[in-house]
Amino acid sequence: MANVLLAVIYLAFISLGLPDSLMGSAWPTMYPQYHVPVSYAGLVQIIITAGTIISSLLSDRLTFKLGAGKVVTVSVGLTAVALLGFSFSPTFWILCLCAIPYGLGAGAIDAALNNYVALHYSSRHMSWLHAMWGVGTVVSPSIMSYALIEQHQWQLGYRYVSFIQIGITVLVALSLPLWAKRGRATVESSSEQKASAKPLGLMATLRLPLAKEVMLMFLCYCGLEGTVGLWASTYAVQSRGISADQAAVWASYFFLGITGGRIAAGFIADKFSDTFMIRLGSAVLFAGILLTVNPTPYTVLTMLGLILIGVGCAPIYPSIIHATPELFGEDKSQAIIGVQMASAYVGYLVVVPVFGLIARQISALWMPAYILVFFLLMVGMHEFIQKKR
């Protein structure tokens, strides 16, 4: 039964990744039909990100009242309804309204599942959990491509993914008794503890020792990852003079590095500490940054650098999450992971667009230097935490 629950958890995290790459695939077809500028995709993304931040911050209270299984069930259901709404939206502003439940659902899934796996499973499964997100981001563009090429309707792409989400919602709902059994088997608490337990508020969470440092570390990591994910192809074009088509393939290697790296990390994560895995990932990530700016004429080194950045990123995010219960205590881990998720989305919302301004006003050639700043901040915060823990 434990394996059945783990399979359901993996499916739920695939559901988190499924919608993330849909709009990027469909937007070139969507915006002319809505008669809006191409830049309006950013507005939809801001609404989604704001929703994820809000639901991440509320995750401690929601999980305390409902339990992780019910939160995940409701959240996957919300994203299913939102995607179905996308497929039927007659105007751009209705699309924006549908983005609200999408964001709220995504943030709650992320925080609840991360905390549940951190509490009840080993580092191996945390790495593989995040690899499942990568699987979702790879599958959904293929679905959208089929809808666009074979049926000439982007709406059907959203509808197909919505149906998958509905199926996953049903499976998670059916597995709810397993979530309760797993919780009782792994986290024993006395009746007195249960009676006195209550969710931490945001301010109380922020006052915890090292909470701000972990939040800054998360913001730096996710800002770095998001910047490379969005701007790697532009950097490759400007730095190496390759075609846009070839650069897009290069950028995909970054995501391939993350997904493949997390699958590989799962095989060794249980043999090493979370701290070691973060330092190992950081070393590979630093090597990748150096390779992207190599002064030689060998363009393959830049491509290898993007792959290494992805591989280096792979163990960092899961290891930070998995270390949270040990660092802050199991009773506070959901609150901390909630603010970590919120910090992650703030990183995407702020750090990535700021580099967009730099690329527009100066040049995308500054990408390695820009991500190096956030890399050094991230490593500095991690080492500070290890010294103070």
The answer as to whether 199 is a domain residue is no
Of 88-97, 150-159, 222-231, the range with the highest mean pLDDT is 88-97
The answer to whether position 195 is within a domain reads: no
Domain assignment of residue 273, yes or no: yes
Q: Report which of residues 367 and 295 the model is more confident about.
A: 367
Region 361-378: what's the mean pLDDT? 91
Question: For the domain that residue 96 is a member of, what is the CATH number?
Answer: 1.20.1250.20
More confident residue, 3 or 277: 277
What pLDDT is recorded for position 286? 96
Q: Which of 162, 181, 200 is the endpoint of a domain?
A: 181
User: Whole-angstrom Cα distance, residue 3 to residue 13?
Assistant: 15
**pLDDT score for 373:** 95
List the one residue out of 292, 281, 158 whose CA is nearest residue 217: 281
For residue 241, the enclosing domain spans: 209-388
Tell which residue, 263, 236, 253, 258, has the closest CA to residue 310: 258
Domain termination residue (choose one: 141, 163, 181)? 181
37 pLDDT tier (thresholds 50, 70, 90)? confident
- Give the span between the Cα atoms of 13 and 105, in whole angstroms: 12
What one-character DSSP code corresponds to residue 175?
Answer: T
Same domain, 169 and 221: no
Q: How far apart are CA 55 and CA 71, in angstroms?
A: 11
Phi and psi at 212, nearest 5°, equal: -65, -35
Total domain count, the chain:
2
Do the domain assignments include residue 203?
no
